[in-house]
Amino acid sequence: MHCNACKARLAAGCLVAVLPFAALAQAPPPTTPGEVRIVDDTGAPAIFMPELEAALARARWERVATAATTNARIDVGIVFHVLSGPLGEGDLDDELVARQLAVVNDAFDAAGFRFVVAAVRRYPDSPYFAGGCFPTTESGLRMKAELAVEPKRFVNVYSCRLALPYIAGYGTLPNEFAEDDPRHGVVIDHASVPGSPAPLSLGHTLVHELGHYFGLLHTFQGGCVAPGDEVADTPAEAIAGFGCATGRDSCPQDDGDDPVENFMDYSDDACTNHFTPQQGERMRALAAIYRPGLVTPVDAPTPPRAHSSHRRP
């Protein structure tokens, strides 16, 4: 499991599986001089975890998760919401959005997903840009309710200023809300896209948060205690990985070194490079079970509403 911010993405996403959100958001992880620790957040209450596992068990037994058991590629449409400040800070041009999409597609290729930009919507001088986009706050919920585009059919990705160096991203789990609920989606800090300063220099924060979006937990979920992240081919890991601690074995009683190069750990972007086959299977199965509207043919969304009221007065 990984939280890019967990990388620098606060343990927002998967950490939530074991801790209530309040506990997650209270204090950032400790840092040493010169060290940036980024984590992510899903904010999903632990109650959603057993439901995910029960649904997977039913799918495997009944073979109903067709998308997970075939080689067919899953095409998913993304709507990018680019929020920026009064001086244009945070604005991502089309080339940068394309670079971020290429990173995502490269990461998810082996898992059988392909992401297509359905629309890029820009909100200059947005009141939600700086601090108002965190999705568990009143302001963040209002932002999603106002801006989300057909959440049943598209992954809504919001780029804004979160709380670096501690929180770089936030992703919801697929079973948290009804398919068409605008609270679904991923929020990333604008300084986590490709070309940003290390440790978030390669755009892996969005990869990590999309992992949560399709049902992955952090690789360190549950520490050395089974079932951990519920994925058999990710070795157990006692604590999150930061930096690039290759060769670390924090659960010596279990097979394998810590999966610090997995996208769902908190390691630096330069260190993370893969999902495992069973992580891919899990994402495909949960997409078929909880988000079937996402895996239908990708069409353009309805024309954008006027956003004049979204600017600051």
Q: Is 160 left (phi over 0), alpha (psi -120 to 50) or beta?
A: beta
Is residue 159 situated within a structural domain? yes
- Residue of 209, 220, 297, 292 whose CA lies nearest to 19: 220
User: What six digits make up the tokens of 162?
Assistant: 């979160």
| The pLDDT of residue 290 | 94
Q: Residue 237 burial (CB < 10 Å; 0-12/13-18/19+)?
A: buried
| The pLDDT of residue 60 | 57
Give me the domain span that covers residue 279.
Answer: 4-27+35-293
Is residue 306 situated within a structural domain? no
Ranges in the chain, pLDDT < 50: 1-37, 61, 67-69, 304-309, 313
| The pLDDT of residue 52 | 74
- Per residue in 110-146, pLDDT (tens digit) is 999 999 999 999 999 999 999 899 988 999 999 999 9
| The pLDDT of residue 299 | 57
| The pLDDT of residue 62 | 57
CATH of the domain at 163: 3.40.390.10
Which residues are marked as active site?
209
Which residues have C-beta within 8 Å of that of residue 139, sequence separation ≥ 6?
A: 128, 131, 132, 133
| The pLDDT of residue 72 | 78
What is the distance between the alpha carbons of residues 202 and 260, in angstroms, rounded to a whole number?
A: 16
- Predicted TM-score (pTM) of the model is 0.81
Considering its fold, how many domains does the chain have in total? 1
Is residue 304 situated within a structural domain? no
- Per residue in 33-64, pLDDT (tens digit) is 333 335 565 555 566 667 776 766 666 545 55
